[in-house]
A and B are shown apart, each in its own frame.
Chain A
Amino acid sequence: MASITTTLLLHPLINMQLILPTLLSIVLCLLSTVLHGEEAPIQVQIVEPYIELHTGPASGYPVFYVAEQGEWLSILKGRTNWFKVETNKGKQGWVKQQALQLSLSSEGQPVALYESTFASYNQRDFELGALGGTLEGVPSLSIFASWVVNENISTELSITQALGDFSENQLLLVALHHDTFPEWRLSPFISLGVGQLRTKPRANLVQAGDETRSSDLLAAGLGLRYYLTRNFVIKLEYKSLLALTDRDENEELEEWKLGFAVFF
C-alpha cells in the first residue's frame, strides 16, 4: 500500500487522473447522502452469467429483466428473503437472497448476507409468540414475549385467556425458561414461574356473591421447541399451575398448548 502511494505521488499526472474522479465521486456521494438523508445503498457485482429480476418479492411475480455478469446492483431494501435492487442501468426489481449470495461485494468478497438459520437462533435476543390449547378442558390462548439471557436461560412474560362455559380466566405469568439442549433442533425445555389468575364468572351465571376473584399462581412447565425455518420456531408446552386461593383448598390446574414464535 505504501509503495503504491509513493509511486502515485511520484507520478503527478496519473495521480491527478486517479484523484479527480475519486474526489468527484466522494463529493457526489456526500451530496446524495445529504439530499437523501441516508446512507448510499450497498452495491454488489454479479458473478454468475445472469441474475433474474422479479417484479415483486416472491417467486409468483414474473421475471421482467435479466441483469448480466459484471453489472453492479445497489441493494435498496429487503422483504423476507427477497431484496429490491437497482442495476446501474436504472432497472429496479426484486432478487432472491440465494441469487444475491452468488454475487461479489465491492471488497471482491462473496456476498454473505445474514440469513436467519438455526445457528442464528442461539444468537437471538428476544422472541415473540402465540400459543393455543386447553386449560382444564377450556380453550385457552396465550401471547408471550421472552428475553434471552444466554443460550440456555430466558425470561418470559405471558398473558393467557381461557374462556369456559362458566367463567373467563386471565393468567399473567413471569417465568424462567431453561433450554436443556440449545444446540439440538428439537430441544426440550423446562420452566418455572409465578403470576396471577383472575377468574370472572359468565354474565348469565352471576348471582349474589359471585364476583371476579384474583389469586396468586405458581407454575411449573415442560415443553419442546422445534426450529422450523428462517426465524420461526414451534413450541409445545405442558404446564402445571397451582392457584393459591383464599379458600380452604388450593386449586390445581393443567394446561396444554401448542404454538409458534418468531425470534429477532
Chain B
Amino acid sequence: MEIGIRSIFLVACCLVISTSINAQEDQQGQQQSATGQSVIEAQVQRRDINEANIDSENFELGLFIGVISIEDFSSNTLLGARVAYHVSENLFVEAAYGQAEAGQTSFEILSGGAPFLTEDERDYRYYNLALGYNLNGETFVTNNWVFNSATYFTLGAGSTEFGGDERFTLSFGAGYRLLLTDYFALHFDLRDHIFNSELIGEEKTTHNIEYGLGATFFF
C-alpha cells in the first residue's frame, strides 16, 4: 500500500518535472526563434519602426564664391548662397542668391567720360529658383582614392537687380558635386543667366556667365 502510494507520488513527481522541463525548452525555443538565434539578440531594441525617428538629410545648404562675367560690364567676383531640397535621388529643387559689383564698360574706360551707372546701380544681385537633375556616379581621383559624385543640370528662372532695375532672368546651369562625406560636398558650377538689357542703348538679350566653387552641408 505504502509502496503503491509512493510509486503514485513518484510518477506524479516525474510527470510534473518532465512537463516543466518541456515547458522550459519550449519557452527557450520560442525566445530563440523570436530573436532569430542571433549572437547579438540581447542588444536588439524592441520598438516599432517610425521614419520620424530616423534622421533624414534631404536639405542641402551652402555658400559659393566665383566669377561672373556681366555682359559689357567686365568680370567680377561673385558671392552667394544656395539651398536645395532633394526630392528623389535624381530630382532636386534649388533656390540661389548671388551678388557682385559690376565693373566699367570698355567705353567708359577708353573715353574716361561720364559713367553709365552710379555706384548703387552697379550692384548686381540675383535670385533664382531652379529644378535640377542629378547623374550620380563615382570619381576615381587615383586607383584607390574614390569619392561619390554627381553631375547635375539645372533650369531655373528668377530676377536680377542691376542698373537700378529688376530684370526677369532665365538660368541654365551644369554642375559637379563631389561628396567628401555623406553630408559634406564640394561644388563646381557653371551657369548662364540670360536677361534683356537696354543699359548701353538698344535692348538686347545678355548672357552673364558665372562659374563658382561652393561647399554645402546636407541636413
Using a CB–CB distance below 8 Å, which chain A residues touch chain B?
4, 7, 10-11, 14, 21-22, 24-25, 28-29, 39-40, 42-45, 55-62, 70, 72, 75-84, 88, 105-109, 111-114, 130, 132, 138-139, 141, 143, 161, 163, 168, 202-204, 229-232, 260, 262
Contacts and interface: CB of A to CB of B under 8 A. Distances in A.
Contact of A168 (B23, B52, B88, B166): B166
Interface string B151-173: 00000011100011111100000
A79 B58 contact: yes
Given A78-B56, A231-B87, A42 B159 contact: no
Given A77-B55, A262-B85, A25 B134 contact: no
Contact of A80 (B45, B88, B157, B179): B88
Interface stretch (B34-42, B71-79, B105-113, B205-213): B34-42
**Chain B interface size, under 10 / 10 to 19 / 20 to 34 / 35 or more:** 35 or more
A261 to B, nearest CB: 10
Nearest to B41: A21
Contacts of A11: 24
A84 B148 CA distance: 14
B6 interface: no
B136 A61 contact: yes
A141 B55 contact: no
A163 B167 contact: yes
A32 B56 CA distance: 21
Interface in B9-53: 20, 23-24, 27-28, 34, 36, 38-40, 42-53
Contacts of A88: 38-40
B160 to A, nearest CB: 9
Given A61-B138, A88-B40, A42 B45 contact: yes
A7 B23 contact: yes
A234 B182 CA distance: 30
Nearest to B117: A203
Given A62-B138, A79-B182, A79-B218, 13 more contacts: A22-B42, A44-B49, A75-B54, A76-B55, A78-B54, A78-B55, A80-B87, A106-B45, A113-B54, A141-B129, A163-B168, A230-B88, A262-B85
A241 to B, nearest CB: 19
B86 interface: yes
A109 B135 CA distance: 36
A78 B11 CA distance: 61
Nearest to A39: B53
B65 interface: no
Contacts of A107: 46-48
Nearest to A162: B168
A204 B39 CA distance: 78
A81 B54 contact: no
A113 B91 CA distance: 21
B190 interface: no
A113 B49 contact: yes
